[in-house]
Amino acid sequence: MPLDGLTMGFLAREMQSLIGGRVDRISQPEKDMIVLLIRAEGKNLRLLISASPSMTRFHLTDEVYQNPPDAPMFCMLLRKYLTGGRVMRIEQLFGDRLIRIVIDNRDELGEEGPRELYLEAMGRHSNLTLVRGGQIVDAIRHVSADMSRVRQLLPGLPYELPPRQDKLTPGEVTKDALLARLTGQTGRLFKALQDAVAGLSPVSAREITLRLTGFTDPAAEDTDLPAFCEAAERFFAGLPGMGPAVLYTDETGQRADFFPFLYFSRPPQRQTPASSLSRAMDLFYSGRDREDRMAQKGAALKKQVRTLLERAEKRLTLQQEALDEARDADRLRLCGELLSAQLYRIPKGAKTVTLENYYDENNGTLDIPLDETLTPVQNAQKYFKRYRKAMTARKLAAEQMESTLAEIGLLEESLMSLANAETPEDLSDVRLVLEEAGLIRRDKDRRRVKKPPVSKPLCFRAGDGTEILCGKNSVQNERLTKSADGEDLWLHARNMPGSHVIVRLNGQAVSDQTLLEAARIAAFYSRAHGVSVPVDYCLRKYVKKPAGTPAGFVTYTHNRTLTVTAGASDLVPQKTSGGKQKE
């Protein structure tokens, strides 16, 4: 569901545990996301605030995010003004999607004073603004006069709150106040309620209407409005005591939504209680935000790879046509030889001649077209010349096709690697391979202030505790296979782009179940994506890398094959960097 004002109210109440806490550390892992490490109640708590247009949110998180090598300017300002400060207040404004966090801290001259962080969770207009003394210090997203003539968010300007809607806040809902707004309304009751009370999304308004009337979608004119408004007053007054938060899953078991309390408008068996609303949101967004951001970051590179792949496939078609034409070379040579051997039988000025074919076991004849303007000798020489040209074209086309097929394979593997990418380092690995292959231009202006972290493969834990590693791209594949012990088990989908999978055996024999689990991983992370995939496996010591071949290219022997089908639900759990399994 959208992060509406109703949910924001629950979050603001939940965040009261941070009051009095000290801001120890601030990071900005993404351009529109910050994480405050707050020491409160004897614990280190991470408060995530995201102004992403598609995934705006505000909650405590257990996720550990990787920070860029150099902190962005907005992060540096937050560190300057907020680090070491005490959280004095966290509140929702106007019952809407607006949060104010007040942090008391000393400035560079030692003077104490409040600093304010305003989160505006307004979809594509979402923003996070640092304010001091009523003036904007900076905003995570600048809004100039060209972008909005009504309200600018630029450093140095006075901060103005977003215009308040003419609606009741949940705390202002009384029987008389709500009845005054609903009287005379017609049409769907949930829509009238949404127009009357601030912060309600359609999902929340429908849920409240169902709870108060017992009907899923009643009309306002068919409802006993006084009784409805009286029940609404009790409902909104009891919001702070409602719970627990739940995580909602769809028919396939995938996390599909979260609610601050059990929603009667959704099947109860698909709603799992969570320890807190923050926990439910953390589970819901886990992986989803990363996938969305990686898709955005890799979009340009993916488009470039797809364009190169389309060009290579068109080039391959032309090369195949040229090779087909060149296959006529043997006939050209035969015509030349027969003409040379039977010159005396060729009339001058003839357009065609039928000659005995000495190479035919049945002593047949061959009709040979001629150029009537040439002599018989010149016609024979012309056929030999065409033969030599066809042979050269055949050799060149075969070489070009071999090169083009290798390029197509590399590009297809790159597309698969981009789909598997989870971190910026994964994207860098894919770009590096393409640069080294000469398929894309190196970025000469790219500054590397710090050496980027080495990307890491996926790490799984089999049912018997055996560690299974899976490369996400060709660079990781090569690094993973090279570092594996000779007695470890190596797996790869046969004759298609895919991940190298290593089973750490540590001198032990692999169990049938672990072998099956590893094969499913290799099948899932292949071009076939887990649908009836033949997976080859052998000991790592039988895997060799030929000199001069691209990253991830290997040959192997002593292999056996296992055909498996695997979906995401068939994979064993992944390990986090801290060794815990992802939920």
Most confident of 75-84, 386-395, 403-412, 570-579: 75-84
| Residue 15, SS3 per DSSP | helix
Domain ranges of the chain: 5-139, 170-285, 315-419, 458-570
Model confidence pLDDT, tens digit, residues 140-192: 999 999 988 889 999 999 999 998 999 999 999 999 999 999 999 999 999 99
What average pLDDT score do residues 319-334 get? 81
Other beta carbons within 10 angstroms of residue 322's beta carbon come to 16
pLDDT at residue 578 greater than cutoff 50: no
Q: What is the 3-state secondary structure (H, E, C) of 31-61?
A: CCEEEEEEEECCEEEEEEEECCCCCCEEEEE
pLDDT of residue 582: 37
Residue 448 Cα distances to 30, 74, 453, angstroms: 18, 21, 12
Contact by Cβ (8 Å): 299, 291: no
pLDDT band at 577 (very low <50, low <70, confident <90, very high): very low
Closest CA to 52 of 121, 130, 117, 1: 121
Position with higher pLDDT, 420 vs 196: 196
pLDDT at residue 61 greater than cutoff 90: yes
Rounded Cα–Cα distance for residues 320 and 401 (Å): 7
What are the residues whose beta carbons fall under 8 Å from the beta carbon of 158, sequence distance 6 or more? Answer: 134, 135, 136
pLDDT at residue 447 greater than cutoff 60: no
Which regions of 287-443 does DSSP assign to beta strands (E)? 352-356, 365-369
DSSP, residue by residue, 509-528: PPPHHHHHHHHHHHHHTBTT
pLDDT band at 81 (very low <50, low <70, confident <90, very high): very high
Rounded Cα–Cα distance for residues 59 and 137 (Å): 23
Contact by Cβ (8 Å): 468, 502: yes
Structure tokens at 538: 């052998």
Residue length, the chain? 583
pLDDT of residue 1: 56
pLDDT at residue 449 greater than cutoff 70: no
Helix segments in 186-287, DSSP class H:
189-196, 202-213, 225-237, 277-285
pLDDT band at 40 (very low <50, low <70, confident <90, very high): very high
Closest CA to 256 of 232, 277, 228, 280: 280
pLDDT at residue 499 greater than cutoff 70: yes
Structure tokens at 500: 């190298």
Mean pLDDT for all residues in the chain: 89
CA atoms within 13 Å, Cβ hemisphere of 574: 13
pLDDT band at 450 (very low <50, low <70, confident <90, very high): low
Pairing of strands 112-120, 271-273: unpaired
Please give the angle made by the CA atoms of 173, 178 and 179, to the nearest 5 degrees.
Answer: 150
pLDDT of residue 575: 63
Model confidence pLDDT, tens digit, residues 388-445: 888 888 888 888 888 898 889 889 888 888 888 877 788 888 888 888 888 888 766 5
What are the residues whose beta carbons fall under 8 Å from the beta carbon of 374, sequence distance 6 or more? Answer: 382
Rounded Cα–Cα distance for residues 423 and 165 (Å): 40
Closest CA to 54 of 277, 295, 283, 272: 295
pLDDT at residue 583 greater than cutoff 60: no
Query: Could you give the percent of the chain with pLDDT greater than 70?
Result: 95
Query: Could you give the percent of the chain with pLDDT greater than 90?
Result: 63
Positive or negative torsion for Cα 62, 65, 70, 76: negative
pLDDT of residue 581: 36
Which CATH architecture is the domain 5-139 placed in?
Answer: Roll (2.30)
Model confidence pLDDT, tens digit, residues 371-382: 999 999 999 999
pLDDT band at 446 (very low <50, low <70, confident <90, very high): low
What average pLDDT score do residues 81-99 get? 95
pLDDT at residue 326 greater than cutoff 90: no
Verdict on whether the full-model pTM lies above 0.75: no
Helix (H), strand (E) at residue 555? strand 555-556
Model confidence pLDDT, tens digit, residues 209-250: 999 999 989 999 999 999 999 999 999 999 999 989 999 998
User: Which amino acid type is present at position 441?
Assistant: R
What are the residues whose beta carbons fall under 8 Å from the beta carbon of 456, sequence distance 6 or more? Answer: 423, 425, 476, 577
pLDDT of residue 378: 92
pLDDT at residue 553 greater than cutoff 70: yes
What average pLDDT score do residues 8-37 get? 95
